[in-house]
């Protein structure tokens, strides 16, 4: 008998992985070089290295990183 389906719809969505090039296409103004700098400085966004030479990002992590860095012009 299989387990019942999850009641959390997000749990059923597949994870979307992006290469550094796809990330810079997703975020206007960002460059692959700047992503390299951020990784070297141990700064967000979070990234994954499934192999020694492969770097990938989760699209949800990228979107959250952009939202966290929002500037609210109404705040002094």
- The arithmetic mean of pLDDT across residues 22-33, rounded, is 97
The token pair at 37 is: 């700098």
How does pLDDT run across 35-49, given as a tens digit for each residue?
Answer: 999 999 999 999 999
SS3 11: helix
pLDDT band at 74 (very low <50, low <70, confident <90, very high): confident
How does pLDDT run across 44-71, given as a tens digit for each residue?
Answer: 999 999 999 999 999 999 999 999 999 9
Pick left, alpha or beta for residue 33 (phi over 0 → left; psi -120 to 50 → alpha; otherwise beta).
alpha
Residues 6 or more apart whose Cβ sits within 8 Å of residue 15: 58, 60
pTM equals 0.76
30: Cα separation from own chain's centroid: 13
């Amino acid at each position: 008998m299989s387990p019942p389906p999850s009641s959390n719809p997000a749990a059923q969505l597949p994870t979307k992985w992006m290469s550094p090039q796809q990330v810079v296409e997703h975020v206007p103004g960002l460059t692959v070089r700047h992503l390299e700098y951020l990784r070297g400085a141990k700064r967000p966004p979070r990234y994954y290295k499934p192999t020694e030479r492969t770097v990938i990002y989760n699209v949800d992590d990228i979107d959250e990183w952009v939202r966290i860095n929002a500037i609210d012009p109404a705040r002094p």
